[in-house]
Chain A
Amino acid sequence: MTQQTTPDISLEGLTIGYGETVVVRGIDAVLPGGKISVILGGSGCGKSTLLKHILRLHPALAGRIVIGGHDMAKLDRRGMHCLRQRMGVLFQDGALLGSLTLGDNVALPLREHTRLSEKDVRERVLAKLGLVGLADFHDYFPNELSGGMRKRAGLARAMVMDPPLLFCDEPTSGLDPVTAAELDQLLLELKRRSDMTLVVVSHDLDSMRTIADHVLVLGDGRVLFQGGLAELEATQDEYLRRFLDRQALARTTPRLTMPPLDFKLMKRDCSGYLDEQQS
């Protein structure tokens, strides 16, 4: 298969992990091209790990990752370059370069991979920052921003080359509901306008219900579910139901037995001091 604008991503018998520790075993799944696939699962179940393996930041322990018909493990350097230049990635915590301003961060791929003039670069960067609502923060450094702002800036950087493949690790976590909904609309718009293949990791059920065409649920070191959104909503699997249905969750989760609270743990008791100050 050659240049395909909306590449499928297929995972064949994929086992992922770090060194000798396996995180998820035997993943067989297809993330369809031109659609939004949402990877869902509890905290620590290996969603980010799966993303990093698809990006080939870590070698797969077993199995194959095939993107647009190309086996990632068999690609040579040149092929890897071509593929990476067609990907945009938002890391879970943004991963902006700390020593560059926001504008320079977003401009980095443009400056490295294109021959655009400085003026065009600036224009493009401002447009993308505008999309995520950060146009006024062009000259700020990452450590001068909030967590949510860093994440949005990371998304701007991931989108700046208009890649046909976009990977987002929890784009909406740490954002207020309004901004989160705006980002969801942005992702939908990207898919509609440019036929992008999006892979989105998320905990956020509302956001998942808004954007997902295809869902992959991880848990328990394996794939628990894959398929369309309607199929997922109709599932009778108990674990999945608990995951999907907050109310069911509240009903079925056993009440915690809290150990008694002890407010006098501090080595030196200061409460007397505060009272004195007041009087």
Chain B
Amino acid sequence: MTQERRAQLSPIAQLGDAALRLVGDTGAMFLFLLESFGRIFRSWGQFPKTVRQIYFIGVKSISVITLISLFTGMVIGLQMYYALAKFGADGFLGAAVSLSLVRELGPVLTAIMITGRAGSSMTAEIGVMRISEQVDALRVMDINPIGYLVSPKLAASIICFPILTAFFDLVGIVGGYLTGVLLLGGNSGVYWYRVSAYLKMNDISGGFIKSLVFGVVVCTVCCYMGYYTHTRRDAVGPEGVSQATTAGVVTSCVLILLADYVLTSLLF
């Protein structure tokens, strides 16, 4: 639909138009996910590409994840210590820090950080390839662009998100120890005892499932936005790529929080 046509629509029709597009996009994104997932296992050639993506998405994110998780843990340690000390329950600091990290903050903050670091670059990379006809070139060489560009990223996301989340949790708990025990003088043995006593397998597997879902969501949304850059209505060319990148990151973050709510209410 052209710009003028849309301006002529009444507000109600515009709402309907937006709703239809939302439903259409959701369906298309799901099919996109199915196709890229199916193509992960098509050939051995996917393996080296996936390894390269694991390096980009996973290994290169470690430093920023370390930093963020350490400070998150330290802040929680600080904050919780004062709150718990008010009730004389400062011995439970280990349980409070580890549970909030493993169940909620670990998966969510990791996913948001990787979205900013790797998700945005996925959209930009695929978007630029789309507008410079490189995607068309792949198609005429009979190389499926989704299999070539998206599947390795999806496989790498599925592998990296849970591992990085586990890493985040671990460093975060150490961060809580740094402030709650070393800085504020809590009892070290009690901290670690409470961590291990209150953290159940259920919590860990819940966080694990969350991070898997977030990985799939982030990769699908970001790659989809890049892959369909050329069909955007709000902008074309380089500006289209930049809009797609913004849309990818924003949509991913919103969906992460939405999915987090749904999963928390289902899992725990």
User: Which A110-126 residues have a C-beta within 8 angstroms of B?
Assistant: 111-113
**Pair A98/B140 contact, Cβ less than 8 Å:** no
The 8 Å CB contact of B140, one of A87, A93, A112, is: A87
Residues of B within 8 A of A55 (CB): 140
Cβ-based interface call for A270 (8 A): no
Residue B136 contacts which of A57, A81, A87 (CB distance < 8 angstroms)? A57
A234 to chain B, nearest CB (A): 36
How far is B143's CA from A109's CA once the two chains are assembled, in angstroms? Answer: 8
How many Å lie between the Cα of A96 and that of B138 in the bound state? Answer: 9
Query: Does A89 contact B137, Cβ atoms closer than 8 Å?
Result: yes
Among B134, B137, B138, B148, residue most surrounded by chain A Cβ atoms (within 10 Å): B137
With A84-B142, A108-B143, A113-B142 as contacts: A97 and B137 at CB distance below 8 Å: yes
The distance in angstroms between the C-alpha atoms of A95 and B142, with both chains bound, is: 15
Residues 82-129 of B at the A interface (beta carbon under 8 Å): 125, 128-129
CB-defined interface of A118-156 with B at 8 Å, one 1/0 digit per residue?
A: 000000000000000000000000000000000000000
| The one of B128, B129, B136, B141 that contacts A112, using a Cβ cutoff of 8 Å | B141
Output the residue of B133, B136, B140 with the most chain A CB within 10 A. Answer: B140
Closest beta carbon of chain A to B257's beta carbon, Å? 32
B133 touches A112 (CB 8 A): no
- Say yes or no: A112-B139 contact (C-beta < 8 A), given A91-B133, A93-B133, A95-B134: no
**Distance in Å from the Cβ of A55 to the closest Cβ of chain B?**
5
Q: Does B26 contact A (CB under 8 A)?
A: no
- 21 sample A-B contacts, Cβ–Cβ < 8 Å, listed by A number: A52-B136, A81-B142, A84-B139, A84-B141, A85-B142, A89-B140, A91-B137, A93-B133, A95-B133, A95-B136, A96-B134, A97-B129, A98-B129, A108-B141, A108-B143, A109-B141, A109-B142, A112-B45, A112-B142, A112-B143, A112-B148
Classify chain B's interface size. Answer: 10 to 19
Residues of A within 8 A of B142 (CB): 81, 84-85, 109, 112-113
Rounded to whole angstroms, the CA-CA distance of A112 and B133 in the bound complex is 19
Q: Kindly provide the distance from the CB of B24 to the nearest chain A CB, expressed in whole angstroms.
A: 17
Q: Which of A81, A84, A95, A112 contacts B132 (CB 8 A)?
A: A95
Give CA–CA (A91, B136) in the complex, Å: 9
A residues 15-55 near B (Cβ < 8 Å) are 52, 55
Query: In the bound complex, what is the Cα–Cα distance between A36 and B14 (angstroms)?
Result: 51
- Find chain B residues with CB under 8 A from A112 CB: 45, 141-143, 148
Cβ B136 vs Cβ A98 within 8 A: no
Quick one: which of B129, B133, B142, B148 has the most chain A CB within 10 A?
Answer: B142
Provide the bound-state CA to CA distance between A179 and B234, in Å.
42
In Å, the complex CA distance between A98 and B138 comes to 12
- Nearest A residue to B147 via CB reads A112
Asked whether B140 lies within 8 Å of A57 as measured between CB atoms, the reply is: yes
Closest Cβ neighbor of B136 among chain A residues: A57
Docked complex Cα distance between A112 and B45 (Å): 8
Measured between beta carbons, the chain A residues less than 8 angstroms from B136 are 52, 57, 91, 95
Closest chain B residue, CB of each to CB of A87: B140
Given contacts A108-B143, A112-B45, A113-B142, contact A98 B137 (CB under 8 A): no
Interface centre among A52, A85, A87, A91 (most CB of B within 10 A): A91
B134 touches A98 (CB 8 A): yes
Q: How far is the CA of A87 from the CA of B141 in the complex (A)?
A: 8
Q: How far is the CA of A97 from the CA of B132 in the complex (A)?
A: 9
Find B134's partner among A57, A84, A85, A97 (CB 8 Å cutoff): A97
Residue of A96, A111, A112 most packed against chain B (CB within 10 A): A112
Bound Cα distance from A95 to B137, whole angstroms: 6
- Asked if B137 and A84 sit within 8 Å, CB to CB, the answer is no
Known: A84-B142, A89-B141, A113-B142. 13 other contacts (CB 8 A): A52-B136, A81-B142, A87-B140, A89-B137, A91-B133, A93-B132, A95-B132, A95-B137, A97-B129, A97-B134, A98-B132, A109-B143, A112-B141
